[in-house]
């Protein structure tokens, strides 16, 4: 097979919604600040007894239903996440069992907010070399579990959710190209500074587990880097920005999304935006946005989609897709 093709999409959001007004009650922030600086109005938050795997399971079921495939039809599962249920087994392994898939390869990929695009890139290659016919690719996060709810600089930004696609080998395009990158030089600008091997700070709240971000510096690098990856992706396909029908960006900040939309000279209505309702769901944000625009009929078969993301690492990536 020369290409892999998206044959079904699905997504899931936890029931609980936290609005900006809710946040105003326990942290020194305002609805106006959050909307003006980020575009976010609300976010979904996993319940105490809900895990990333639960969200991923629901999104996967919906994607498989849309693709009209049975568990036995899937022969690879890759899950992009920064917030796995447990350290091991991988959340993908747990899902293999829960979804009743055959004993296929199952792996988690941690590339922070770029996790879904990394997962999609790997699955696309597996299909193109002929080692898999169909793959289930998921981005799922309970990223609010890593948030310090007293830190107004980060707690207003994040939300939980999951999105999934089923891709299948095809002689027709399909995923035209994927591009993934990392640069660990600025690791300190976005991430956690504790972990299993680095150790935890027992004396601190939540043992020191919380997202640390120098937002302003991340913002500037994100805008520059996403602009570069747009060029890289179009050049690799010999395409012009006018060939792109839809931008499906990572949903971190409406101002970053608008900058990339402008770079592509796309009108606002050709840019899929969910950040206002979902916040930043890390690896889940791109497949969530894709599923929303497929299900509400905006995205039509044959159209060209540019998917892109930027996140902790730094990592960044893109995919150009003929849907």
Residue closest to ligand UT7, measured at CB: 215
* Whether the Cβ atoms of residue 279 and residue 40 lie closer than 8 Å to each other: yes
- For residue 237, the minimal CB distance to ligand UT7 (Å) is 26
Catalytic position from the list 44, 181, 253, 280: 280
Residues at the contact surface with ligand UT7, assessed by CB under 6 A: 29, 33-34, 37-38, 113, 152-153, 156, 215-216, 218-219, 222, 252-253, 256, 280, 310-311
Catalytic position from the list 20, 44, 113, 253: 113
In the bound state with ligand UT7, the residue whose beta carbon lies nearer, of 23 and 92, is 23
In the bound state with ligand UT7, the residue whose beta carbon lies nearer, of 142 and 280, is 280
- For residue 215, the minimal CB distance to ligand UT7 (Å) is 3
- For residue 29, the minimal CB distance to ligand UT7 (Å) is 3
* Six token digits for residue 184: 């660990």
* Whether the Cβ atoms of residue 121 and residue 309 lie closer than 8 Å to each other: no
In the bound state with ligand UT7, the residue whose beta carbon lies nearer, of 42 and 253, is 253
- For residue 103, the minimal CB distance to ligand UT7 (Å) is 34
Q: How far is CA 262 from the centre of its chain?
A: 21
In the bound state with ligand UT7, the residue whose beta carbon lies nearer, of 91 and 280, is 280
* Six token digits for residue 66: 């849309």
- Whether 207 is catalytic is no
Q: Which residues of 244-273 are buried (b: 16+ CB within 10 A; e: fewer)?
A: bbbbbbbbbbbebbbbbbebbebeeeebbb
**Dihedrals φ, ψ of 260, to 5°?**
-70, -35
- Whether 113 is catalytic is yes
* Whether the Cβ atoms of residue 250 and residue 111 lie closer than 8 Å to each other: no
Catalytic position from the list 44, 181, 250, 278: 250
CA distance 279 to 29: 16
In the bound state with ligand UT7, the residue whose beta carbon lies nearer, of 256 and 305, is 256
Is residue 216 classed exposed, middle or buried when 0-12, 13-18 and 19+ CB atoms within 10 A define those classes?
exposed
303 closest CA partner among 173, 122, 116, 124:
173
- For residue 252, the minimal CB distance to ligand UT7 (Å) is 4
- Whether 250 is catalytic is yes
CA distance 61 to 71: 9
Catalytic sites, residue numbers: 113, 250, 280
């Amino acid at each position: 097979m020369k290409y892999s093709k998206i044959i079904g999409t699905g997504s899931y959001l936890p029931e609980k919604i936290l609005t900006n007004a809710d946040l105003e009650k326990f942290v020194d922030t305002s609805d106006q600040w959050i909307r003006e600086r980020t575009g976010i109005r609300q976010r979904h938050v996993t319940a105490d007894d809900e895990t990333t795997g639960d969200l991923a399971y629901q999104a996967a079921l919906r994607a498989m239903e849309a693709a009209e495939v049975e568990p036995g039809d899937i022969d690879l599962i890759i899950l992009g996440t920064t917030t796995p249920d447990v350290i091991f087994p991988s959340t993908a392994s747990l899902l293999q069992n829960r979804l009743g898939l055959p004993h296929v390869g199952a792996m988690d990929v941690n590339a922070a907010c770029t996790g879904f695009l990394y997962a999609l890139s790997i699955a696309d290659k597996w299909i193109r070399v002929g080692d898999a016919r169909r793959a289930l690719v998921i981005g799922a996060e309970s990223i609010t579990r890593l948030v310090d709810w007293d830190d107004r600089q980060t707690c207003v930004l994040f939300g939980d959710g999951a999105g999934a696609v089923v891709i299948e080998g095809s002689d027709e395009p399909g995923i035209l190209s994927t591009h993934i990158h990392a640069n660990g030089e600025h690791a300190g600008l976005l991430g956690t500074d504790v972990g299993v091997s680095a150790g935890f700070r027992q004396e601190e709240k939540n043992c020191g587990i919380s997202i640390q971000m120098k937002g302003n510096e991340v913002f500037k690098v994100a805008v520059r880097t996403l602009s570069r990856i747009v060029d890289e992706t179009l050049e690799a396909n010999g395409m012009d920005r006018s060939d792109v029908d839809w931008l499906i960006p990572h949903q971190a900040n409406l101002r970053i999304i608008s900058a990339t939309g402008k770079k592509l000279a796309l009108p606002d209505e050709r840019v899929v935006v969910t950040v206002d309702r979902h916040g930043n769901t890390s690896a889940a944000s791109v497949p969530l946005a894709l599923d929303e625009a497929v299900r509400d009929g905006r995205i039509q078969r044959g159209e060209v989609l540019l998917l892109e993301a930027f996140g902790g690492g730094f990592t960044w990536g893109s995919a150009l897709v003929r849907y």
